[in-house]
Amino acid sequence: MPPVSPGRLRDRRSECDALDGLLGAVREGRSGVLVLRGEAGIGKTALLDHAVDTASGCRVARVTGVESEMELSFAGMHQLCGQMLDRLDDLPGPQRAALDSAFGLTAGAAPDLFFVGLAVLSLLAGIAEEQPLLCVVEDAQWLDQASAQVLAIAARRLHAESVVMLVAIREPCAAPAFEGLPALLVDGLPVRDARELLDSVTPGGLDPRVRDRIVAETQGNPLALLELPRGLEPAQLAAGVGLPGTPRVPDRIEESFARRVEQLPAATRLLLLAAAAEPTGEAALLWRAAAGLGIGVEAAAPARAEGLLELGARVAFRHPLVRSAVYRAASPEARRRVHGALAGAIDPDLDPERRAWHLAHAAPGQDDALADELVRLAGRAQGRGSVVAAATLFARAVVLTADPARHGERVLTAAEAHLFAGSAVAASGLLDTADPGRLDELGRARLERLRARIAFVTGRGRDAPPLLLSAARRLEALDVRLARETYLEALEAATFAGSLASGRGVLEVAEAARAAPPAPGPPRASDLLLDGLAALLTEGYAAGVPTLRRALGMHRDSDDLRWLGLSVRIATDLYDDDAVLTLATREVQLARASGALTVLPLALTYLAGWTVASGDFAGARSLIEEASSITAATGSPPITSAELYLAAWRGHEAEHARLAAEIRRDAEARGEGWAIATIEYATAILHNSLGMHRTALAAAQRACATGETIASGWALPELVEAAVRGGQRELALPYLERLSELARCSATELALGFRACCLALMAEGRDAEDLFGEAVDRLGRTRATPHLARVHLLHGEWLRGERRRLDARRQLWIAHGMFVSMGAEAFATRAARELLATGERVPEARVETRSRLTAQEAQIARLAHHGLSNPEIGARLFLSPRTVEYHLRKVFTKLGIGSRIELGRVLPGVDVDPG
């Protein structure tokens, strides 16, 4: 093996120092994560071995990703946590249930990957309380998707647990779950060290030109320098004859290992192949399979002597490239033979999915009976949350199905499973194998709908609405309920595409949905959403609002996540702040509880947007950070609309400009008009706060012109204010009429308060005074604190224009205090300018106590004030209890307090429900 002791690692001092620093920190109670990236053979394994060898006083847990095992969900977690399951009873209930389900210990509901990740974090933290822990992950690019995401979730939340996680990833392979974590690129050795290493394995000496050629072609790769000369005669080396040509360095290394394996006895090669095909490292399983193959224990001796394999309590190859070399060099017949032996060695009651996986790889051809068994086990895997394993088993069943009638149905089922598992590319590839001629009419319609859903999931832009609309029309005569669901999906997609949609866009989809067949039987909430939204978009608010209100009422207590996000958007469009908060909070709670990772970030974004509108900017920042942590851990695209909205209200021009440019670039490429309208609305808020009313007016006009149901409606008050304050009052009249109609139909205090404020801006004398009073009264009964503060500001500005300085000062001081308290800096500055104009002296705004806290500290402080324990806070925020305790100590120090009881005194806004 390559040298691994610190004294013999050549030119790895800086890398060793980094690892030693992490190990030193873990012994002092701090955690750390480092991702080692580099090509195969570059020395990542040697560095990991160095860390293990020098981790005195630490417990070591190790897991290795294996290419052939990527299809089996939680396979990596079995390696890591198999010896920790005696600690399951120490976990919080949801975490324990999730891990039980993931490992097949119970047949519960599908587990949430985040709860599994938190359970793993809790297990690691529990062990680390007794002894610092070093967790080593090798070849992470070959971990199954579920294990990679779970490890990344845990890694991103390590802070004060005395755990070090080292992750090695082969370049240029992708491992998106670990992107963004601290990384160290491991390069080849410098020329001098590479020459010395090569000389150490070629005692006969090399011609300097041959030596330099090898060093140059291997680019200083240590394993290549050690392995490539093996098997070549001294004369061949001296003359440079027989050296590899142009293949990549990892391929050359693998070829070198393959040459060494070819020289071993047949029984030894077969034993190595069985070990490579079953990478759990269970020696007992390997020997049971070996017995089935007629291989005795003596077959291991040549592999050991050659330094390729270690067989003790566990099976360990010298290097991952040995495993891949063995498996790839074997014939298909030999692979099927060892997979069959391994399947026969696995207890079908203890691990039926792994056994089925081996059986599928052992099958010489199509086998309907085995395909049926795979379908059954795929359903079982779905039930316990192994969505990737289920998708893989369904896909393998497709390959094994000979019956043409069932083949097409299984293609659709497998594609749906892959789409649910988050692999739209794999789903699309499966659909490409479907033969529409062998599907019935419903099957062909489902095929079309699946392609449309893939377009929506991957783009959320202009491509999806017409595809979903076509699928919905086709389904009408086949399955009315499925057709209506597809129409609603098409409407949702069309509202995202908005002004950038193809053809007639939203109106075309809404007209088609309006003509859809009625719901069979009593209407469900989704039926009311479809009918109400189609009516609103085709005939106006008066036609759609009553039905939509019934739908929102049904969704308030619903456990169906599918349409809650759309309901939040509709409630926002109707200015129904009570429904928005209730539904958004409900969506977040359900998404957290059920582990809907694709839903939770967007749900948190909706709730964050309304939290901004409520004036709790710190709370909104916490929700935004939580959503960002989830998208980072799962590799999903970030959702930054709430962050843009917050930057606008804070008056942060540079941050707003950066976010707007990023969102616009992405939205225009995908055709998501809703995002463009959101940018214009946020831009109008920002420039109104800065007193740049002409710029705000132009942005608000663009937002209203898009016709987006939400952004254009909420931009109406911004437009009226900008037009009046910018001296273009006449431009506001048609928009004020639109706002008045919306307010009459909605009849909420929020809508009527906005209408009263805008009418006040257009009125004079006593009428304006009364309307400002009405606006304050109505908005005072809502949660829209920033908008209430703006009414006081606008009223004060109007009073100053009427030369009523004393009255103006009272309104302006109220506005200034509210803006300062929530952190709306530009609006506070605008109010301060008005106060100065009345002759008042405005002291420098005092920074609120909570603004000295980070977003995470503020969130922890608020939850602690509400009585949540450290474990409960950790479960809510995806942190370990020890990290929560660490942050609370920092909170107490920053705030100058000594207990949770005092949090309510120093933290404004903690009375807000934490959701």
Residue from 408, 469, 467, 468 nearest 433 by CA: 408
| Cβ(152)–Cβ(633) below 8 Å | yes
Q: Specify the range with the lowest mean pLDDT, choosing from 123-137, 200-214, 350-364, 726-740.
A: 200-214
Torsion of CA 74, 76, 79, 80, to 10 degrees: -100
pLDDT for the residue numbered 1: 36
Dist CA 25 CA 457 (whole Å): 43
Tell me the average pLDDT across 838-859: 68
Q: Are strands 315-317 and 309-311 parallel, antiparallel or unpaired?
A: antiparallel
pLDDT tens digits for 710-730? 667 899 999 999 999 999 999
pLDDT for the residue numbered 241: 38
pLDDT for the residue numbered 702: 92
Contacts of 501 (CB under 8 A, 6+ apart): 462, 465, 494, 671, 673
Per the structure block, which two tokens stand in for 379?
A: 């359903």
Q: What Rg value do the Cα atoms of the chain yield, rounded?
A: 32
Largest CA distance in the chain: 107
Report the run of H or E that residue 734 belongs to, with start and end: helix 733-746
- Higher-confidence residue of 122 and 203: namely 122
pLDDT for the residue numbered 598: 65
| Cβ(626)–Cβ(604) below 8 Å | yes
Buried-state track 342-372, b at ≥16 Cβ within 10 A, e below 16: bbbbbeeeebbbbbbbbbbbbbeeebeebbe
What residues form DSSP beta bridges with 35? 167, 183
Burial (CB < 10 A; 0-12, 13-18, 19+), residue 51, is buried
Torsion of CA 550, 554, 555, 561, to 10 degrees: -130
Contacts of 337 (CB under 8 A, 6+ apart): 270, 293, 362
DSSP code string of 327-339: HHHS-HHHHHHHH
Tell me the average pLDDT across 793-805: 94
pLDDT for the residue numbered 834: 93
Tell me the average pLDDT across 379-399: 75
Strand locations in 204-354, DSSP E? 309-311, 315-317
651 residue type, one letter: G
pTM of the model: 0.67
Task: Give me the sign of the Cα torsion angle 464, 467, 473, 477.
Answer: negative
pLDDT for the residue numbered 242: 43
| Cβ(134)–Cβ(22) below 8 Å | no
| Cβ(305)–Cβ(314) below 8 Å | no
Dist CA 234 CA 297 (whole Å): 34
Dist CA 340 CA 292 (whole Å): 9
pLDDT for the residue numbered 205: 63
What's the distance, CA 228 to chain centroid? 42
Tell me the average pLDDT across 172-176: 74
Dist CA 770 CA 797 (whole Å): 15
What residues form DSSP beta bridges with 164? 32, 134
Tell me the average pLDDT across 554-570: 85
φ, ψ for residue 253, nearest 5 deg: -65, -45
Residue from 712, 765, 753 nearest 734 by CA: 712
Dist CA 15 CA 22 (whole Å): 11
Q: H-type helices in 515-574, by residue range?
A: 525-539, 541-555, 564-573
pLDDT for the residue numbered 112: 64
Burial (CB < 10 A; 0-12, 13-18, 19+), residue 741, is middle
pLDDT of residue 213 exceeding 80: no
| Cβ(647)–Cβ(784) below 8 Å | no
Q: Specify the range with the lowest mean pLDDT, choosing from 294-308, 381-395, 504-518.
A: 381-395
Dist CA 894 CA 872 (whole Å): 23
Confidence of residue 637 (pLDDT cuts 50, 70, 90): low
Tell me the average pLDDT across 791-811: 94
Q: Specify the range with the lowest mean pLDDT, choosing from 443-457, 632-646, 701-715.
A: 632-646
pLDDT for the residue numbered 336: 93
What's the distance, CA 292 to chain centroid? 44
Report the run of H or E that residue 871 belongs to, with start and end: helix 870-877
Dist CA 809 CA 721 (whole Å): 20
pLDDT for the residue numbered 550: 94
pLDDT for the residue numbered 661: 95
pLDDT tens digits for 55-85? 998 999 888 887 766 766 677 887 887 777 7
Residue from 614, 532, 566, 516 nearest 558 by CA: 566
pLDDT of residue 809 exceeding 60: yes
Torsion of CA 352, 357, 362, 363, to 10 degrees: 90
Per the structure block, which two tokens stand in for 415?
A: 């594609």
Contacts of 684 (CB under 8 A, 6+ apart): 696, 697, 699, 700, 703, 715, 718, 719, 722
Dist CA 412 CA 446 (whole Å): 8
- For the chain, the average pLDDT equals 84
Confidence of residue 644 (pLDDT cuts 50, 70, 90): very high
pLDDT tens digits for 580-619? 989 998 888 777 765 566 678 888 999 999 899 988 888 8
Secondary structure (3-state) at 282: strand
Dist CA 565 CA 544 (whole Å): 18
Confidence of residue 188 (pLDDT cuts 50, 70, 90): confident
Secondary structure (3-state) at 599: coil
What residues form DSSP beta bridges with 170? 38
pLDDT for the residue numbered 852: 64
- Tell me the CA end-to-end span of the chain in Å, nearest whole number: 55
Dist CA 444 CA 769 (whole Å): 64
What residues form DSSP beta bridges with 878? none
Residue from 236, 227, 195, 231 nearest 212 by CA: 195
Cβ neighbours, 10 Å, residue 605: 27
